[in-house]
Amino acid sequence: MKLGIIVGTRPEIVKMAPVVRACRRKRVPFVFIHTGQHYSYELDGVFFDELKLPRPDHNLSVGSGTHPQQIAAMVRGLELVFNAERPDMVLVEGDTNTVLAAGLTANKLAIPVGHIEAGLRSYDRRMPEEMNRIVIDHLSDLLFAPTEQCRKILLKEGIPPERIFVTGNTVVDELILQKPRALKAVDFNILGVAPRGYAIATVHRPENTENEKRLGAIFAGLRAAAKSLNLPILMPLHPRTRKRVESLGWRLDKEIRALPPQGYLEFLGLQANASIIFTDSGGVQEEACCLRVPCVTLRDSTERPESIDVGANVLAGADAKKIAACARKMIFIKRDWRNPFGKGDSAERIIKIAANYLKTR
């Protein structure tokens, strides 16, 4: 068995890291392929270094561009790599253009596809990620659903039950492994805050950053929440968000303290020690839930409803008053919810399922 492990963005690197390690432990041959969808050191290279991962065997270096341009460049590059390497199965994770391009290319070359994190749905078809999720789930041969709720969604969409496996989410594997290192990675003296004496915020989705009204309401809500909770908000700025803030001529004040993009360990440590988290990121919603830190999601919908169901998360959208009100509510909740995203053995289960599938072909 030879697996093709595909990554392209920061979250994919983190969530595929346990799969790479599981392959090494089990002595499963694999080819590690990076599309280069994220390409700066802050959003890419630092993660290979911090997580002690091997450098990819192939990097397509597609960089930025429109969605069709990115996907087309990836498909062209991946076809050449797949034909040269001939993996027995391609594993993809999540909902990015990288996932869609790799799944389509493998499918057209008659290479089985395994989709890690299958069955997530926000039911907001305006999101490019939502369409990517739907397409990749319906062309994949194996679907690794993180939760039972995701499995039920896939069954309702007509996917045969024998192709679906509930494995938990590999984000839990990596979080459990790296949390001890992460807790030592933050220098609170430099940041000028104390553990539990601050909040964290991340905003990067185009539906928020490219809409001036929404983005303005989010910042207004964060400022109101900071004043109401008497907590500074530390905000690592995604390059897209920083560029947008600068183009609008906005200045962040003492309530919202801008930080450069953080490495995985630093950011995980910041999350673990925060009093509350504000985010429009799906992965951060999962991590906050696993770390038992209350989360306020700055979106109108989420593909991680399990975090809401257990009481760890709440949707506030881009309404300034609602953001502040949700913050006041969530800051006082008990952090005793159960973790719905797995036990930390997802990667091992995925590799075993893939191996059994390939034996029977």
Q: Where are the domains of the chain?
A: 3-169+342-359, 181-330
pLDDT of residue 261: 86
**Mean pLDDT for the chain?**
94
Residue 43 has pLDDT above 70, yes or no: no
CA 223 – CA 196 distance, rounded (Å):
18
| Residue found under tokens 């341009």 | 69
> Which residues are catalytic, by number?
204
Residue 42 has pLDDT above 70, yes or no: no
CA angle 262, 102, 64 (to 5 degrees): 50
Residue 39 has pLDDT above 70, yes or no: no
pLDDT of residue 160: 98
**Which of 44-53, 67-76, 131-140, 214-223 has the weakest average pLDDT?**
44-53
Q: How confident is the model at residue 65 (pLDDT cuts 50, 70, 90)?
A: confident
pTM of the predicted structure, to 2 decimals: 0.93
Distances (CA, A) of 15 to 9, 53, 303, 316: 10, 12, 17, 26
Q: What mean pLDDT comes out for the span 237-250?
A: 88
- pLDDT per position as a tens digit, 184-226: 999 999 999 999 999 999 999 889 999 999 999 999 999 999 9
pLDDT of residue 230: 96
CA 77 – CA 85 distance, rounded (Å):
12
Order of all β-strands in the sheet with 295-297: 256-259, 233-236, 199-202, 276-279, 295-297, 313-315
pLDDT of residue 157: 98
CATH number of the domain located at residue range(s) 181-330 in this protein? 3.40.50.2000
pLDDT of residue 41: 52
pLDDT of residue 44: 64
The answer to whether the CB of 37 falls within 8 A of the CB of 67 is no
Q: What are phi and psi of 180, to 5 degrees?
A: -60, -40
CA 29 – CA 4 distance, rounded (Å):
9
Residue 27 has pLDDT above 60, yes or no: yes
- pLDDT per position as a tens digit, 127-173: 889 999 999 999 999 999 999 999 999 999 999 999 999 999 999 99
pLDDT > 90: what percent of the chain?
84
pLDDT of residue 184: 95
**Which of 49-58, 269-278, 301-310 has the weakest average pLDDT?**
49-58
In the beta sheet, which residues pair with residue 296?
Answer: 278, 314
- pLDDT per position as a tens digit, 260-270: 888 899 999 99
- Written out in words, the top-level CATH class of the domain with range 3-169+342-359 is alpha beta
How many CB atoms within 10 Å of residue 249? 6
Residue 40 has pLDDT above 80, yes or no: no
Q: What mean pLDDT comes out for the span 22-42?
A: 87
Q: Is the fold of 3-169+342-359 the same as that of 181-330? A: yes
